Amino acid sequence: MHTPQDQSADQIISTIEISTPLGPMLAGASTKGICILEFINRVKLEKEIADLQLLLNAVLVPGKSPFLTQLETELAEYFDGTRKTFSVPLHTPGNDFSQTVWKSLQKIPYGETCSYKQQADMMNNPKAIRAIASTNGRNRLAIIIPCHRVIGSNGTMTGYAAGIEKKKWLLKFERSHSEVPAGSLF
C-alpha cells in the first residue's frame, strides 16, 4: 500500500468521510473525478482501496476537492429524496468490459430493479451473467453507479458488499421517492 511519502505514486486521491443515514462512507476523488464512494463497513474495503491505488498509481490523502464538494451536495440531495441521478464527474478505471457493465448499471432507472440476467440481456451478452455479477461487485461507486438495483431473477436480495440490509433500505427509499407504483420489492 502506498504512503504519502512514496515517491512512485503519480497522483493523490483526496478523501473525506461523508455521513449518511446508512452510516459513514469513504469518498475519494482524483484529478478526473470521483473514483471511490463506499460504505466504511463494506466487505473487503481495504483490498478495493489497494486495487484502486495500484490502478491509478496514487495514494489516498485526506483532503478536499471540487469533485468531493459537489459529491457531498449531490449525495445530500439523494438522501433528501430530491436527486435521482448524479452529475459529478466520475473516474472509473477498468477494462472495456468493466466500463460497459458499469455504464449498464447507470441505465437502471431510479426506483426500479433488474436481475443479473436482465442486465446481461441489456448488454447483449446473455452468457456473461457471472462475469457481469462479479464486475458489479467491483464497482467502487456505491449509490452513484447503482449496483444495489440488481437483484436475483427470483427477486432475492443478493450480492451487495455493504450488506443486504443496506441494499433493501436503498431500494425501499428509492421506490418511496419515485414515480414507480408501490408494490413489494422482495
Residue, of 115 and 161, whose pLDDT is higher:
115
Of 34, 145, 147, 161, the active-site residue reads 147
Give 6's pLDDT tier (boundaries 50, 70, 90).
Answer: very low
- CATH number for the domain that contains residue 138: 1.10.10.10
Residue 88: inside a domain = no
Residue 90: inside a domain = no
- Strand (E) positions, the chain? 11-18, 25-29, 34-39, 58-62, 114-115, 150-151
Is 35 known to be catalytic?
Answer: no
Residue 1: inside a domain = no
Retrieve residue 16's grid coordinates.
Answer: 473525506
- CATH number for the domain that contains residue 45: 3.30.160.70
pLDDT in tens, 117-138: 999 999 999 999 999 999 998 9
Retrieve residue 94's grid coordinates.
Answer: 477498468
pLDDT at 185 over 70: no
Q: What is the DSSP string of 75-124?
A: HHHHHHT--SS--S-B-----HHHHHHHHHHTTSPTT--EEHHHHHHHTT
Q: What is the domain count for the chain?
A: 2
3-state secondary structure of 12: strand
pLDDT of residue 181: 56
pLDDT in tens, 31-81: 999 999 999 988 889 999 999 999 999 999 999 999 999 999 999 999 999
Residues spanned by the domain of 125: 96-176
- Mean pLDDT value across the chain: 90
